């Protein structure tokens, strides 16, 4: 009974760790430290007469704050620094416990009477925490967490987590507040680790430093890895395997007469190796098994439009959609005024004025290095200009920051290179973009209990997704993994995602790159429908015939300055443009007759 309760408490910590590791793809190696904070924190507070439940909550809050602070700066560098930081924390916690008896109570650890009692004088209730009460409590917490992972993984949270996992930079450009989500996940994970730790300490009535060595962090990491990516049952399988380690280790230790602790290390190492080797194949196998069960779908965000035709849903949802329909026809969606940017010694932009109106395609052309992509970077908030002003919908943009806030403000952008959110299905990638249109607070929590608001939001996302796919002609490929689309469809998917964010100003960086003539015609159709829906498109493109077909206005940049602006025909006749493109020599020749 005691062992089972202990394993269930470890499962609580593992479920917590699954959030950053298996759902958000972050390498967290320090869960053992947070378990220790929960265990020692609870017992220390209890010694000073703090009621047990309050002590557990305080210890968890302490761990959550630590997790949040740790997440503050360590979630960059593609996660590498997070691995190093959390591994450092795991060892730091252990060294502190071993070296500072004032904290840990020495090698014997801190103790508490068992079974512990929950006493509430005001209610006149005394609960004695027998082993079966622990089992019950831990099982309830585990069931609740499994439900949160299962249900949450299919709602708005699941979409955000999938975006974090598959493409953090891209997620940012689609309006997902990446750093905030990561910090929240790390804090939640740490708090759950502490709850698990408090449980194990109260159950055993003792917390000794040796039980919270970095090996525990590794074991929990393994437990989460074994189950594969984003599966609610993964941690349960992992902890189940880990639970078998101590008894198996004792057997091994007896058979080969080695230290039992060493034997645990051996088995953990074997499990780690096995988990690594089997990570991909086992996940695929298990997912296939679970998927073959009736009533299961593995698509993140749930089934798309269960009972409506795609086009019908789009039509019915058009009225509800915000964004482009709000913008007044011909109004200025985006304006850059006097923007200047310097890259290490190079003046990339020198006082550029550019605006984008609703319902137009505004093409930005110029030789390589003239500053076209820099304009898009400034407009989308990736780059802070040295001087000048950016305003969206006639409102000045506050402090420049993450691109995510720009998306909500009304500017979405595609990248010059093809960037996909891993192998997520086409529709899911659009649904992640559609998340930017969710304005209701606590949608993730509301989704857990399927409130009407959450259901409406889900329907709206499905409709937006269907609309974006229809607009880009990808409806037939909505269930395909994005890496199996052809390159032109992948380019169109980027536009579909940006459209799904609902931002009225859409910035496209060379969307036609790598497209054949037929695919370019399809792109022209997509751009026309974009402007028809009231959006404005700022288009960076090299293909002049494409620009001739779609652009309402063309601005020519050269060496970071606007040298001409007007219709396509006006631009073609402009001598300054001809000079920039064809060079001085030809220009001199052309002017010869005028002098003679």
Q: Which stretches of the chain bind other proteins, using CB under 8 A?
A: 21, 25, 27, 29, 69-70, 72-74, 76-81, 83-85, 87-89, 91-92, 95-96, 99-100, 169, 214, 218, 221-222, 225, 258-259, 262, 265-266, 268-269, 272-273, 275-276, 279, 382, 415
458: nearest Cα among 158, 147, 146 = 158
The residue (of 47 and 95) whose beta carbon lies closer to other proteins is: 95
CB of 12 to other proteins, least distance (A): 22
Residue among 72 and 442 whose Cβ is closer to other proteins = 72
Q: Are 161 and 230 in contact (CB under 8 A)?
A: yes
Residue 92 beta carbon to other proteins: minimum distance, rounded to whole angstroms = 4
Strand, coil or helix: 235: helix
Give the nearest distance from C-beta 160 to other proteins in angstroms. 18
Q: DSSP H helical segments within 344-476, as ranges?
A: 372-379, 403-409, 426-434, 443-448, 452-472
DSSP character string of 34-66: HHHHHHHHHHHHHHTT--HHHHHHHHHHHHHHH
DSSP states along 155-222: SHHHHHHHHHHH-HHHHHHTT--HHHHHHHHHHHHHHHHHHHHHHHHHHHTEE-GGGGSHHHHHHHHH
Is the distance from CB of 424 to CB of 480 less than 8 angstroms?
A: no
Q: Helix, strand, coil % (nearest 5) of the chain?
A: 60, 15, 25
**Residue 262 Cβ vs other proteins, minimum distance, rounded to whole Å:** 5
At 423, give phi and psi (nearest 5°).
Answer: -105, 15
Closer CB to other proteins, residue 190 or residue 222?
222
**What's the min distance (Å) between Cβ of 368 and other proteins?**
17
- What does the block give as tokens for 259? 């230290």
Give the whole-angstrom CA distance, residue 206 versus residue 331: 68
Q: Which is nearer to other proteins, 21 or 62 (CB)?
A: 21
In angstroms, give the least distance from the CB of 90 to other proteins. Answer: 9
Q: Which is nearer to other proteins, 273 or 576 (CB)?
A: 273
Closer Cβ to other proteins, 21 or 239, answer by number: 21
Distance of closest approach, residue 214 Cβ to other proteins, in angstroms: 7
Report how far residue 212's alpha carbon sits from residue 97's, in angstroms, rounded to the nearest whole number: 9
CB of 464 to other proteins, least distance (A): 26
Task: Kindly state the DSSP code that residue 124 receives in the 8-state scheme.
Answer: T
CA distance 249 to 266: 8
Other residues' Cβ atoms within 10 Å of the Cβ of residue 395: 9
Rounded to a whole number of angstroms, the minimum distance from the CB of residue 297 to other proteins is: 25
Q: Which is nearer to other proteins, 11 or 275 (CB)?
A: 275
- Shortest Cβ distance from residue 486 to other proteins (Å)? 21
Nearer to other proteins among residue 139 and residue 266 (C-beta): 266
Return the number of the residue (276 or 289) whose C-beta is nearest other proteins.
276
Three-state secondary structure string covering 460-495: HHHHHHHHHHHHHCCHHHCCCEHHHCCHHHHHHHHH
Q: Which of 501, 561, 541, 496 is nearest to 380 (CA)?
A: 501
Choice between 211 and 438, CB closer to other proteins: 211
**Is residue 388 left, alpha or beta, with left meaning phi > 0 and alpha meaning psi from -120 to 50?**
left
Q: Which is nearer to other proteins, 191 or 226 (CB)?
A: 226
- Choose among 565, 574, 579: nearest CA to 362: 565
Residue 75 CB, nearest distance to other proteins (Å)?
Answer: 9
């Amino acid at each position: 009974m005691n062992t089972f309760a202990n394993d269930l408490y470890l499962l609580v910590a593992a479920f917590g760790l699954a959030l950053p590791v298996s759902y958000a793809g972050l390498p967290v190696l320090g869960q053992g430290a947070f378990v220790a904070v929960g265990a020692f924190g609870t017992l220390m507070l209890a010694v000073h007469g703090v009621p047990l439940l309050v002590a557990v909550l305080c210890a968890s809050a302490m761990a959550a704050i630590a997790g949040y602070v740790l997440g503050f700066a360590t979630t960059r560098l593609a996660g590498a620094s997070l691995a190093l930081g959390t591994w450092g924390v795991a060892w730091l916690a252990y060294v502190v416990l071993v070296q500072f008896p004032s904290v840990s109570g020495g090698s014997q650890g801190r103790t508490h009477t068992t079974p512990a009692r929950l006493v509430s004088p005001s209610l006149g209730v005394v609960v004695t925490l027998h082993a079966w009460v622990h089992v019950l409590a831990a099982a309830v917490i585990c069931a609740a967490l499994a439900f949160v992972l299962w249900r949450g993984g299919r709602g708005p949270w699941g979409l955000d987590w999938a975006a974090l996992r598959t493409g953090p930079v891209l997620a940012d450009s689609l309006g997902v507040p990446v750093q905030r989500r990561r910090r929240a996940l790390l804090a939640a994970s740490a708090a759950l680790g502490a709850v698990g730790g408090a449980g194990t300490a109260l159950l055993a009535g003792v917390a000794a430093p040796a039980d919270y060595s970095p090996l525990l962090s590794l074991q929990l990491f393994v437990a989460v890895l074994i189950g594969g990516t984003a599966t609610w049952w993964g941690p349960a399988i992992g902890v189940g395997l880990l639970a078998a380690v101590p008894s198996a280790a004792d057997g091994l230790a007896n058979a080969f007469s080695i230290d039992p602790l060493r034997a645990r290390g051996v088995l953990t190492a074997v499990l780690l190796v096995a988990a690594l080797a089997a990570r991909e194949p086992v996940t695929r196998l298990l997912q296939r098994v679970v998927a073959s069960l009736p009533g299961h779908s593995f698509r993140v965000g749930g089934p798309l439009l269960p009972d409506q035709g795609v086009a019908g849903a789009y039509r019915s949802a058009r009225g509800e959609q915000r964004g482009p329909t709000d913008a007044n026809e011909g109004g200025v969606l985006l304006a850059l005024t006097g923007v200047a940017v310097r890259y290490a010694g190079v003046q990339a932009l020198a006082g550029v004025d550019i605006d984008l109106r609703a319902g137009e395609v505004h093409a930005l052309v110029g030789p390589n290095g003239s500053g076209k992509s820099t304009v898009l970077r400034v407009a989308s908030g990736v780059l802070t200009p040295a001087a000048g002003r950016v305003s969206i919908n006639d409102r000045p943009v506050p402090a420049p920051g993450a691109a995510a806030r720009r998306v909500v403000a009304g500017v979405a952008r595609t990248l010059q290179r093809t960037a996909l959110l891993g192998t997520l299905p086409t529709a899911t990638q659009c649904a992640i973009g559609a998340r930017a249109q969710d304005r209701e607070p606590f949608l993730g929590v509301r989704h857990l209990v399927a409130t009407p608001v959450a259901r409406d939001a889900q329907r709206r996302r499905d409709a937006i997704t269907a609309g974006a796919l229809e607009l880009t002609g990808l409806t037939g490929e909505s269930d395909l993994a994005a890496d199996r689309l052809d390159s032109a469809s992948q380019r169109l998917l980027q536009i579909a995602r940006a459209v799904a964010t609902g931002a009225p100003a859409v910035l496209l960086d060379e969307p036609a790159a790598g497209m054949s003539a037929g695919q370019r015609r399809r792109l022209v159709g997509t751009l026309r429908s974009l402007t028809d829906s009231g959006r404005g498109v700022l288009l960076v493109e090299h293909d002049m015939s494409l620009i001739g077909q779609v652009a309402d206005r063309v601005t020519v940049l050269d060496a970071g300055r606007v040298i001409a602006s007007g219709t396509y025909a006006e631009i073609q006749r402009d001598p300054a443009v001809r000079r920039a493109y064809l060079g001085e020599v030809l220009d001199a020749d052309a002017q010869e007759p005028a002098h003679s």
